[in-house]
C-alpha cells in the first residue's frame, strides 16, 4: 500500500491505492487557503473480510484448517464535499456503510483506496493534529468516566487536549449554561439520566472547540423534552461558532429539525445527495385532506380524489397532487356543503424516507 501527497504550486495531488501510480480518480484540486470545500471525499472504498462457516462442531474443526472468507464492500466509491459551517445528515438503513464512513472520516479506519481531505489534513495520516479539531458523540458509547463526577471527566479531557485554563473555563461555563448542566456537574455519570448524560457527552465533545462535530444517534432513547433541548443546542452551536456537523440518525425528526441537506447511502453506495425538500416533493405526491362541514348533500366526484373516511360532520380525502390542488378540492366541496374547517395532513418524514429506501430496494 502506497500513500502519496505531492504539493505542486497551490494544488495538492493525493493518492491512496495498491499500485505505485497516480490515478485520475483520486486527483484532488484543493486550493490551499482558498474558499473551496472544507471536507472533500473522493472515490472512497473499504472492504472487510468476514469469516464464513456452517454450524456444528465438525465444521468448527474444519474452519481451523481451512478458513472461508466473504468480502463485504462496506463503502463503495463514495464521493461528496461539505462546506465549512454546514450541517449534513448522513443516513441509510442498518448495514448501509454509515459507521464505516464516519470511522474513516474520524481517522479510526484507513480507506482501502480513495482520498479524504478535511481542512487540509488527512484524517488517518495526520491523526494527532486532526483529532484536536474534531468532536465525536456516539449515542451508545460514552467518553465520560462512569464512576466519577461529570466535572472530573471534563478536567481529564482538558488535560488530554491540553486546553489552557482560561480557555477551558470560558468554554465550560458557556456549555454548562447552554446545555443546563449546572445541577448535575458534581454527580457521578452512572447516576445521570440518559438525557442528562447525552447533554454531558455533547459538552465533553466541544470542550476543545473543535471545527467539526460528528454526531451518531445523538438523541437515541431520549424523551421529547431532552430531544428538543439537544436539537436546540446543536443549532445554536452551529450558528454561533460555525461548527461543521455531520449527523447520522434513524430519527428523521432530528434530521428535519437540524438540516435540509441529506446524503443517503445504501449497500455501501451513495444513492442521493441533495435537499430534504426535494425528497419530500418526489415521494410525497399525495396528501390527506380533512374537511369539517355542515350538511354535506353529496360527495363530489373529483378525479384522483379518494374518500377514506366519512361521518356526520367530517370527510377524509386522499388527494393526488399531480393532477389536483387543495384549492380545487375546497371549491368543489363548498358547492355542496358549508365548510367549517380544512386540515391538510402531509406524510410524516419517516414514511417518506421508507418510500425512498423502497425505491432503492434497501
User: Which one, of 256, 228, 221, lies nearest residue 91 by Cα?
Assistant: 256
User: Is 60 inside any structural domain?
Assistant: no
pLDDT at 220: 83
DSSP string, 303-346: TTEEEEEE-SSEEEEEEETTS--HHHHHHHHHTTSEEEEEEEEP
Percentage helix, strand, coil, to 5, in the chain? 35, 30, 35
C-alpha–C-alpha distance, residues 334 and 291, integer Å? 10
Range of the domain at 314: 285-345
- The highest-confidence range among 134-143, 144-153, 281-290, by mean pLDDT, is 144-153
Q: What is the arithmetic mean of pLDDT over 209-237?
A: 90
Instruction: Count other Cβ atoms within 10 Å, centred on residue 289.
Output: 20
Mean pLDDT, residues 81-108: 92
Check residue 138 and give its pLDDT.
Answer: 82
Per mean pLDDT, which range of 184-188, 261-265, 292-296 is the poorest? 292-296
Give 198's Cβ-side CA count (13 Å radius): 24
pLDDT at site 63: 75
DSSP state of 130: H
Same domain, 180 and 202: yes
H/E element holding 52?
strand 39-52
Strands, sheet with 39-52, edge to edge from the N-terminal-most edge strand: 68-82, 39-52, 113-118
pLDDT-above-70 percentage for the chain = 90
Residue 134 has pLDDT above 70, yes or no: yes
pLDDT of residue 106: 93
**Is the sign of the CA dihedral 146, 205, 213, 114 positive or negative?**
negative
**Does 234 or 226 have the greater pLDDT score?**
234
Same domain, 228 and 293: no
Task: Please indicate, yes or no, whether residues 152 and 301 belong to a single structural domain of this protein.
Answer: no
Q: Name beta bridge partners: 40.
A: 81, 117
Q: Rounded to an integer, what distance in angstroms lies between the CA atom of residue 288 and that of residue 326?
A: 10
Contact 279, 350 (CB under 8 A): no
Q: Is residue 56 a part of any domain in this protein?
A: no
Reference 275, options 81, 88, 96; nearest CA is 88
**Least confident window among 22-31, 101-110, 296-305:** 22-31
Q: Which of 2-16, 31-45, 259-273, 336-350 has the lowest mean pLDDT?
A: 2-16
Considering 280, 309, 336, which residue would you say is the last residue of a domain? Answer: 280
**Residue-level pLDDT at 21:** 36
Q: How confident is the model at residue 36 (pLDDT cuts 50, 70, 90)?
A: low
> 312 and 256, same structural domain?
no
Of residues 347 and 65, which shows the higher confidence score? 65
Let me know if residue 58 belongs to a domain.
no
User: Mean pLDDT, to the nearest integer, of 66-80?
Assistant: 90
Q: Do 77 and 13 have their domain in common?
A: yes
pTM across the whole model: 0.75
Is residue 352 included in any domain, yes or no? no
User: Which residue stretches of 121-164 are H helix?
Assistant: 127-131, 150-161
Give yes or no: residues 206 and 318 share one domain. Answer: no
The answer to whether 1 and 18 are in contact (CB under 8 A) is: yes
User: Total domain count for the chain?
Assistant: 2
Confidence of residue 155 (pLDDT cuts 50, 70, 90): very high
The band of 249, judged by pLDDT with boundaries at 50, 70 and 90, is confident
Flag whether pLDDT at 25 surpasses 70. no
Residue 32 confidence class, pLDDT cut points 50, 70, 90: very low
Query: Is the pLDDT confidence value at 112 over 60?
Result: yes
Tell me the pLDDT tens digit for each residue of 304-348. 898 999 988 899 998 888 878 889 999 999 989 989 999 988 777
| Average pLDDT, integer, range 122-151 | 90
β-bridge partners, 77: none
Domain-located, residue 355: no
Average pLDDT taken over every residue of the chain:
85
What is the Cα Rg of the chain in Å?
26
Give the whole-angstrom CA distance, residue 202 versus residue 216. 11
Amino acid at each position: 500500500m502506497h500513500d502519496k501527497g505531492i504539493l505542486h504550486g497551490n494544488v495538492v495531488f493525493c493518492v491512496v491505492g495498491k499500485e505505485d501510480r497516480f490515478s485520475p480518480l483520486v486527483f484532488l484540486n484543493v486550493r490551499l487557503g482558498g474558499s473551496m470545500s472544507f471536507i472533500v471525499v473522493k472515490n472512497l472504498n473499504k472492504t472487510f473480510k468476514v469469516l464464513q462457516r456452517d454450524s456444528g462442531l465438525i465444521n468448527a474443526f474444519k474452519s481451523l484448517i481451512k478458513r472461508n472468507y466473504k468480502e463485504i464492500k462496506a463503502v463503495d466509491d463514495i464521493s461528496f464535499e461539505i462546506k465549512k459551517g454546514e450541517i449534513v445528515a448522513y443516513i441509510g438503513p442498518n448495514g448501509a456503510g454509515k459507521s464505516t464512513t464516519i470511522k474513516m472520516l474520524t481517522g479510526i479506519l484507513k480507506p482501502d483506496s480513495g482520498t479524504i481531505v478535511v481542512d487540509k489534513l488527512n484524517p488517518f495520516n495526520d491523526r494527532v493534529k486532526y483529532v484536536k479539531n474534531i468532536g465525536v458523540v456516539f449515542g451508545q458509547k460514552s467518553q465520560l468516566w462512569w464512576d466519577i463526577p461529570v466535572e472530573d471527566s471534563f478536567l481529564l479531557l482538558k488535560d488530554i487536549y491540553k486546553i489552557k485554563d482560561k480557555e477551558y473555563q470560558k468554554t465550560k461555563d458557556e456549555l454548562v449554561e447552554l446545555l443546563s448542566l449546572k445541577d448535575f456537574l458534581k454527580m457521578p455519570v452512572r447516576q445521570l439520566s440518559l438525557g442528562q448524560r447525552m447533554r454531558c457527552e455533547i459538552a465533553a465533545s466541544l470542550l476543545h472547540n473543535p471545527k467539526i462535530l460528528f454526531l451518531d444517534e445523538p438523541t437515541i432513547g431520549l424523551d421529547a423534552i431532552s430531544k428538543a433541548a439537544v436539537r436546540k443546542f446543536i443549532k445554536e452551536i452551529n450558528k454561533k461558532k460555525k461548527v461543521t456537523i455531520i449527523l447520522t440518525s434513524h430519527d428523521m425528526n432530528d434530521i428535519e429539525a437540524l438540516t435540509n441537506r441529506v446524503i443517503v447511502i445504501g449497500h455501501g453506495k451513495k444513492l442521493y445527495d441533495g435537499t430534504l425538500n426535494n425528497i419530500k416533493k418526489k415521494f410525497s405526491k399525495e396528501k390527506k385532506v380533512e374537511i369539517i362541514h355542515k350538511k354535506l348533500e353529496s360527495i363530489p366526484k373529483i378525479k384522483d380524489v379518494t374518500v377514506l373516511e366519512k361521518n356526520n360532520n367530517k370527510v377524509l380525502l386522499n388527494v393526488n397532487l399531480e393532477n389536483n390542488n387543495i384549492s380545487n378540492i375546497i371549491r368543489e366541496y363548498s358547492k355542496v356543503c358549508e365548510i367549517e374547517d380544512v386540515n391538510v395532513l402531509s406524510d410524516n418524514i419517516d414514511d417518506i424516507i421508507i418510500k425512498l429506501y423502497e425505491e432503492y430496494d434497501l
